[in-house]
Structure 1
Amino acid sequence: MVPLAAPTASLQRALEPDPGPEELSVLWPLLVQLGWFLLGLSAVVLIGRLLVQPVLTRAVRRRNRNNPTLQAAVVLYFRLFVVVVGALVGVAVAGYGAFLDDSALVISAVALAVGIAAREVIGSLVSGIALVLDPEFNVGDHIRWSNGEGVVQSIAFRFTRVETNDGELVTIPNTILTAHEIVRPYGRGNLRIVQELGVDYADDLDEALARLTDVARETDGILADPPPSAYVDELGDDAVSIRVRYWVADPTRRDVFAVRSAYAKAAKDRLEAGGITVSPAAEHELTGRIALDDASLRD
């Protein structure tokens, strides 16, 4: 008896029955649920991208024109948020809302674990949102905080970059800026500047005060109202300490340095022209005896 050859793969596929209505009826509910999920996800994503995102982008750009880093971060986080919300809506529309209700405890536990593990990151994000919403904190501001000072270059949700007076770029976590006081010395109205110098005790103090006040009135950048003033501050060991007080309107740090330098130079020239000694050298009278240890010098 001759054995029969095994059927080939093509012959097996030909012998297999085509999927009929019964097989399709089993898959149909799954296809319907998948369609509803994609429909819910797509609807939320489209609404977020086409309607909400342009409004949000314009608002952020209007509030932070000089901060493209923040604008890009807002768009990125918003898109992630829209995708997550769209996925939840899709699951609910597909008929799996009961699954979310049953898993609420598990989801809460996972969220708690993630929150504990990422508490520093979340704290920085919350602090970043607070800085973004603060109308008095902007890119280009000169700020002074507990560990230094400089000009704000960019504001992100987690950190802020500041260029220091030495030209270094410092990345500061937002939690530090929101937990401590921030001083904005420049660009917030009139700034009062106080400069100190010393004159000799033998000089005429009234003449020195009058000359210092006149120089302040004549220096470019110094306001006439409020008027500048000079007064004796302290009687030191070697000189009389004088303070000069004047105001500069809406200055930047560079403006302040320029005005201080111009005033100091003009004040020095004016005082020396009147025979007034600026910052006299310290003099100390020494008394006592000198002992010689070399025997040859005693002979």
Structure 2
Amino acid sequence: MQDGAQTTAAQGADKNLDMAVTFLEGLAEKAAAYLPSVVGALIVLIVGLWVAGRVKKLVAAGLGRSGRIDETLKGFLSSLVHYGLIALVLITTLGIFGVPTTSFAAIIGAAGLAIGLALQGTLGHVASGVMMLGFRPFDVGDYVEAAGVAGSVKHIGLFTTELATPDNKKIIVPNGKIFDDVITNYSGYATRRIDLIFGISYADDIDKAMTLIKSEVEKDSRVHADPEPVFEVDSLGDSSVNILCRVWMDRADYFGVKWALTKAVKQRFDADGVSIPFPCRSVYMENAA
């Protein structure tokens, strides 16, 4: 009895051993069949990720050499290319394993469309930010008016632009509103023109007043000689003869010249007896009968 039990146990152990060997052989055959695909996928993945990183650096370097591309836009575009190449590498890797990449690409496209529709407002601001950073309608430090607000540009981002008003209020404006509106860049050119109107009495000498204005303009070294200043009678008002003083200066001197000339001409008129009329109202009173 004991010998029979031992024989049965030995036969069972041999059977289990045969099953294990058979399983390992089958597993080895399957592994051998998939080994080229696995090795190829790993090679594609490693090389693809390396190439994506190198292309990102090359794109960033190329955009940096242009001199007109903002750092924010440079980083965004290079990252966009980088992640696009990574997605292509992953799809190629899955294709090596036999995954139907057409369906996978369709799923990614459908998901991208859904996300785009859900975030169309935000993505619109991003698109406007990319256009602004690329075409540069204004730079940081410029004084601009757009989307119903005005101020000095402090920061241009992909989503919003930060402005500071003359009294130092912080304004955050979505890029879509700025790019879809008329943009007035007061700092766009190196020089600016200012038109000052000085009203004199109808009884005063026009030529004398124009000579006094011209002499005060010539004293200010900030006023440009080219284009030449203009002094003309602009209009005949209800109570004054309005003389136009048109001068050019560097844009940084705009307000300084405006305030200085306004004060200087008023003081010169006072000193030389040229009057600046102001509105008067006459009141007639009738005695009751």
Pairing of 1:128-167 with structure 2 (within 5 A) = 128-167=129-168
Pairing of 1:225-236 with structure 2 (within 5 A) = 225-236=226-237
Instruction: Name the structure where helix makes up a greater proportion of residues.
Output: 2
Q: 1:104 to 1:79 in 2, by over 3 A?
A: closer
The answer on whether the counterparts of 2:72 and 2:158 sit within 8 Å (CA) in structure 1 is no
Task: Report whether the alignment pairs 1:170 with 2:174.
Answer: no
Question: Could you tell me which residue of structure 2 aligns to residue 271 of structure 1?
Answer: 269
Number of residue pairs the alignment of both structures matches: 270
Pairing of 1:1-299 with structure 2 (within 5 A) = 20-26=24-30, 36-53=40-57, 55-57=59-61, 59-60=63-64, 63=67, 71-72=71-72, 74-75=74-75, 78-79=78-79, 81-94=81-94, 95=96, 99-249=100-250, 251-252=251-252, 255-278=253-276, 280-290=277-287
Structure-1 separation of matches of 2:248 and 2:165: 24
Displacement of 1:285 after TM fit? 1.9
The answer on whether the counterparts of 2:140 and 2:155 sit within 8 Å (CA) in structure 1 is yes
The answer on whether the counterparts of 1:217 and 1:228 sit within 8 Å (CA) in structure 2 is no
Which is further off, 222-231 or 22-31?
22-31
Q: 1:177 to 1:97 in 2, by over 3 A?
A: farther
Q: 1:33 to 1:277 in 2, by over 3 A?
A: farther
The answer on whether the counterparts of 2:49 and 2:89 sit within 8 Å (CA) in structure 1 is no
Question: Could you tell me which residue of structure 2 aligns to residue 295 of structure 1?
Answer: none
Which is further off, 75-84 or 174-183?
75-84
Extract unaligned runs of 5+ from structure 2.
Answer: 1-16
Question: Could you tell me which residue of structure 2 aligns to residue 296 of structure 1?
Answer: none
User: For 2:239, what is the secondary structure of its paired residue?
Assistant: coil
Displacement of 1:87 after TM fit? 3.5
Structure-2 separation of matches of 1:80 and 1:187: 31
The answer on whether the counterparts of 2:55 and 2:82 sit within 8 Å (CA) in structure 1 is no
Identity %: 26
Displacement of 1:246 after TM fit? 0.5
The answer on whether the counterparts of 2:45 and 2:93 sit within 8 Å (CA) in structure 1 is no
Partner amino acid, structure 2, of 1:240: V
Extract unaligned runs of 5+ from structure 1.
Answer: 1-14, 293-299
Q: 1:258 to 1:34 in 2, by over 3 A?
A: farther
Partner amino acid, structure 2, of 1:267: V
Displacement of 1:23 after TM fit? 3.6
Structure-1 separation of matches of 2:40 and 2:141: 49
